[in-house]
Homo-oligomer: A and B are copies of this chain.
Amino acid sequence: MWVLVATFLIFFMHAGFAMLEAGQVRSKNVANQLTKNLLTWSVGVLAFFVVGAGVSAVVGTLTSSGSFAPTDLYSTMTTNAVNDWVGWLFGAVFAMTAATIVSGAVAGRAKLRAYVGYTVLLAAVIYPVVTGFTWGGGLLAINPESANGWIADVIGAGFADFAGGMIVHGMGGIAGLTAAYVIGPRMDRYNADGSVNVIPGHSMTFAALGTLILAFGWYGFNVGTAASVFAVEDGSLVLGAFDTVGRVALNTTLGMAAGAVGAGLATLYKTGKVDTLYVANGLLAGLVGVTASANVVVWYGGIISGLVAGAQLPFVFEFVEKRLKIDDVCAVFPVHGSAGVVGALLIPFFHVDGFSASLLAAQVAGVAVISAWTVLATGAVFGLFNAVGQARVSPEHERDGLDVSEHGVDTYPEFGTPDTVTDGGSDVVRMDGGTAAAGGIKMVAAIVRPDRLGDIKQSLAEAGAPSLTVTNVSGRGSQPAKTGQWRGEEYTVDLHQKVKIECVVADIPADDVVEAIRDGAKTGEPGDGKIFVLPVEDALQVRTGNRGPEAV
């Protein structure tokens, strides 16, 4: 029962990742990022159901006792035991967490098909191999009832990772870094001389919301894991394990807080200001930092792990960006990768049972094995996509944004364009230059109601002057002021929303254009607007270099 609540919380982390990543990308790539997040879950969970869970079990036995049961490969589909289903689902939400981290690193340029293809492989093979090595009883695990994993047996200690600080987050962060390296940085991210351009995201609010949703879900991630061992077994609560739950909840809370504080202090030291995004990222890095260790470290171990995980953020990010020249858009490596590694390596130093050298050896070995496998597998997959030219969108698509080029979608259709409906006579464009009318070039500027724009476009096109520029403005004229409310209190809004239309014409008389606009704009009510004609001395068309009336 409890394990299901934890599972739901972990599932909800997808909402967190979606908002966090959407907030950190440009507005032209938001819908693409959202689509990737939705498909990560949808496609990935099916892949994990059909193949992934089985692969994990098989890798687990192959790299320890060496035995191999082919039926393990599809046991998820043949079982009828409810605990297997719940256990599978619990594993699936972890797997999808690892997968979705990668999308943050390759934002803004990875092709949808490449990303989805990689996600399928990650859910079906790459991640299951890692869990097979560890939780699945394989390479890095000490097994009480069967043969130990090969490496764990040599060291004499198993790799300790409570809830996936390294297995899930570290792995995801390293995979993201590798993928971002292989497909290369976004256009204009680096100048020719190697200097760096900053490309801010589009909404700090969504990033902060995503952060807090993730932290909420993380309690399921960590505390849920604490209770899962026994909860899956018999569907009810065994009291003995409640101890672990308390320690985990405490360390998770302290690590999260310390991570935000650590990152805040680090940015205060670096730039003299407390950076909002780093505080948010630091909170997550602090959570990553205690995820591997929350069940076995003392409370000040939790605080220190969180502090270090948070404080390393700005330095590791700078190193990745300026030295490695890797464009990790959402900083997934510092937040999940290096924080996960740090957290896993700190366990032996703050263990409730005291320091253990063999545990340290096991941790180093585990981090090395998982990192190596992740880099190789991810590099191979994206390298292959690269080789066949399918890893990355074309420069034109990247410039236009992936929303419109990959999905045909505009995330905020009202932002920057006042056009609402599909009309406007773009089919009657005339391409001939015409001849200059008497009086030279004129600019006709009109301030009109926004909702008349469609009609005006139509009548301008019919008048032979389809070229126009539209600007959102607000104006005060003879229209009476409106009353706005905020919290029930009224205030005067004497500036009404309008659009300004500018047409420059040479070959047709300005008067015709004025009349055309008036035809489209008129409703007869106050607020219809005004039209002005301004003289223009010269004109130039950028592409052709034509000047004067020819250019218009």
Contacts and interface: CB of A to CB of B under 8 A. Distances in A.
A283 interface: yes
A208 interface: yes
Contacts of A486: 198-201, 277, 409, 413
Contacts of A443: 532, 534
A166 interface: no
A134 interface: no
Interface stretch (A3-11, A174-182, A339-347, A355-363): A3-11
Given A38-B260, A470-B473, A409 B504 contact: no
A105 to B, nearest CB: 14
A366 interface: no
A483, A521, A534: residue with the most chain B Cβ atoms closer than 10 Å: A534
A290 interface: no
A514 interface: yes
Given A198-B486, A514-B538, A530-B540, 5 more contacts: A46-B261, A275-B407, A314-B488, A408-B490, A409-B485
A20 to B, nearest CB: 11
A45 interface: yes
A413 B475 contact: no
Contacts of A209: 15, 18-19, 209
Interface stretch (A77-85, A137-145, A149-157, A379-387): A77-85
A469 B41 CA distance: 45
Contacts of A488: 267, 270-271, 275, 277-278, 314, 317
Contacts of A67: none
Interface stretch (A56-64, A369-377, A493-501): A493-501
A467 to B, nearest CB: 5
A546 to B, nearest CB: 9
Interface in A268-289: 270-271, 273-281, 283
Contacts of A448: 542
Given A89-B249, A422-B197, A522-B543, A215 B11 contact: yes
A70 interface: no
Contacts of A234: 239
A54 to B, nearest CB: 14
A249 B85 contact: yes
A215 to B, nearest CB: 7
Nearest to A425: B494
Contacts of A92: 253
Contacts of A536: 532-534
Interface size classification for chain A: 35 or more
Interface in A80-118: 81-86, 88-89, 92, 112
A184 interface: no
A301 interface: no
A22 interface: yes
A406 interface: yes
Given A541-B530, A551-B530, A404 B484 contact: yes
Given A15-B212, A422-B492, A42 B271 contact: no
Contacts of A392: none
Contact of A420 (B199, B409, B478): B199
Contacts of A12: 212-213, 216
Given A261-B46, A413-B201, A537 B539 contact: no
A34 B484 contact: no
Contacts of A204: 30-31, 34, 409, 411-412
A124 interface: no
A279 B543 contact: no
A476 B457 contact: yes
Contacts of A416: 472, 474, 497
